[in-house]
Structure 1
Amino acid sequence: MTGDAWNIGLNIIASVITGSVVWLSGRLLRLRGLRRKQAFFGLSSGGECLLVVPRMVSADNERSVHRNDAAAMLDLSSILGECGAKPEVIFHDQVYQGLADKPEFCIGGPVANRRTEAHLRSVLPACASGAWRSGRRSPWAGRPTRRTPAGSGTRCWPRSCGTSATSPRS
Structure 2
Amino acid sequence: MSDAVLNVVIGLITSVVSGGSVWAWKRVSTARILHQKQALLGLRPGAPCVIILNSHWQMPTVTEHGDVYAIIELAMLAEESGCAFSLVAAEAPELNGDRTELSIGGLGSNRRNVEYLARHLPGVKVNQRGDFTVDGQRFLHKQGRTDHALVAKFTPPQSAQPVLMIMGQSAIANRAAVHLLKHDYKRLAKEVESLNRFCLMLRVDAADTYGYQAVEVATDLSAVAF
Q: Same fold (TM over 0.5)?
A: yes
Alignment correspondent of 2:99: 102
- 1:7-156 equivalences under 5 Å are 7-59=7-59, 63-96=61-94, 98-129=95-126, 131-132=127-128
Name which one, 1 or 2, has greater alpha-carbon Rg: 1
Distance 1:127 1:33 in 2: 32
Q: Does 1:3 align with 2:7?
A: no
Higher relative contact order (CA 8 A, sep 6+): 2
Instruction: Please state how far the C-alpha of 1:80 moved relative to its aligned partner.
Output: 1.4
Report the 3-state secondary structure (helix = DSSP H, G, I; strand = E; otherwise coil) of the residue aligned with 2:52: strand
Q: Which has the higher strand share?
A: 2
Seen in structure 2, the aligned counterparts of structure 1 residues 165 and 13 have a Cα distance that, compared at 3 Å, is closer
TM-score with structure 2 length normalisation? 0.52
- Aligned-pair identity in percent equals 25
Distance 2:56 2:23 in 1: 47
TM-score with structure 1 length normalisation? 0.67
Distance 1:10 1:128 in 2: 69
Please list every run of 5 or more consecutive structure 2 residues that lacks an aligned counterpart in the other structure: 138-144, 147-202, 206-226
Instruction: Please state how far the C-alpha of 1:67 moved relative to its aligned partner.
Output: 2.3
RMSD value over aligned CA atoms? 3.1
Instruction: Please state how far the C-alpha of 1:21 moved relative to its aligned partner.
Output: 0.8
Please list every run of 5 or more consecutive structure 1 residues that lacks an aligned counterpart in the other structure: 144-153, 156-163
Distance 1:113 1:120 in 2: 11
Q: How many residues align?
A: 138
Note the alpha carbon deviations across 1:119-147, whole angstroms, 9 max, x for none.
22233202222x449xxxx969xx9xxxx
